[in-house]
Amino acid sequence: MGKKERLNRTEMLIGAEALEILGGSHVAIFGLGGVGGSVVEALARAGVGALTLVDMDRVDESNINRQVIATYDTIGEDKTEAAKKRVLSICPECKVSTFKQFVLPGQFENIGAFSRFDYVVDAIDNIAGKIAIIAAAKDAGVPVISAMGAGNKMNPEKFMIDDISNTKVCPLAKIMRKKIRELGIENVAALYSTEEPIKTGSKTPGSMSYVPPIAGLMIGGYVIRELIKCNDKKTK
């Protein structure tokens, strides 16, 4: 038993070389909510060797309906620590770094150089922070994928991943497209939904148990395939 047994079925699909690539990869995930937490879950279960987790919040009872790290046992814990404990319970050899902080432009100093990451995932809600993450990743030459809105949705079959310039319907994606275009940034992958947002009458987005996690697992799968360059016969 152990690592070899745990990853045996993954190796059947992608081969030993790709599994080794995942084990040597370092991914940063900004935002550990319904989407980001499930990104972390997918990467940990695939054997990604190093994860940097960034989030300011603590687990709240209102998170339980959709966030994989949220249970009655983790209420009140920093999301970074709850996520780290979960990762290490799945993949004990994973190197996990945590940063409890808001993500705003010019506030990445303590996180360190983005160039050490093999992939960056933006799963936060704040627009200025999302732009800052994307810009920092692009400046470092590191690929990045950004999650658009997953709230007020019921149909996960409407999720897709494409260049952000091709997104439609999603109100957040519309704002992000404009700001990214103004900065001259190109080639940014985004997960978004073509489902019209459900109008709830509340400023707080409604959420369903399965929708944000499916978005996160899709992003996790995309990152994994990109890391191993999923284009050879073994992984088609």
Per-residue pLDDT for the chain (236 aa), expressed as one digit of tens each? 578 899 999 999 999 999 999 999 999 999 999 999 999 999 999 999 999 999 999 999 999 999 999 999 999 999 999 999 999 999 999 999 999 998 888 778 789 999 999 999 999 999 999 999 999 999 999 999 999 999 999 999 999 999 999 999 999 999 999 999 999 999 999 999 999 999 999 999 999 999 999 999 999 999 999 999 854 434 44
Lookup: tokens for 234: 């073994």
With H, G, I as helix, E, B as strand and everything else as coil, classify residue 34: helix
This prediction has a pTM of 0.95
Of 124, 117, 76, nearest to 95 by C-alpha is: 117
Domain of 210: which CATH number? 3.40.50.720
What distance in Å separates the CA atoms of residue 136 and residue 147, rounded to the nearest whole number? 16
- In this structure, the number of other CB atoms found within 10 A of the CB of residue 188 comes to 21
Can you give the residue range of the structural domain that contains 190? 3-235
What distance in Å separates the CA atoms of residue 224 and residue 58, rounded to the nearest whole number? 27
Cα 32 to its chain centre, rounded Å, is 8
Q: So what's the pLDDT on residue 106?
A: 78
How many structural domains does the chain have? 1
Lookup: tokens for 114: 């983005």
- In this structure, the number of other CB atoms found within 10 A of the CB of residue 93 comes to 10
Q: So what's the pLDDT on residue 236?
A: 40
Q: So what's the pLDDT on residue 199?
A: 94
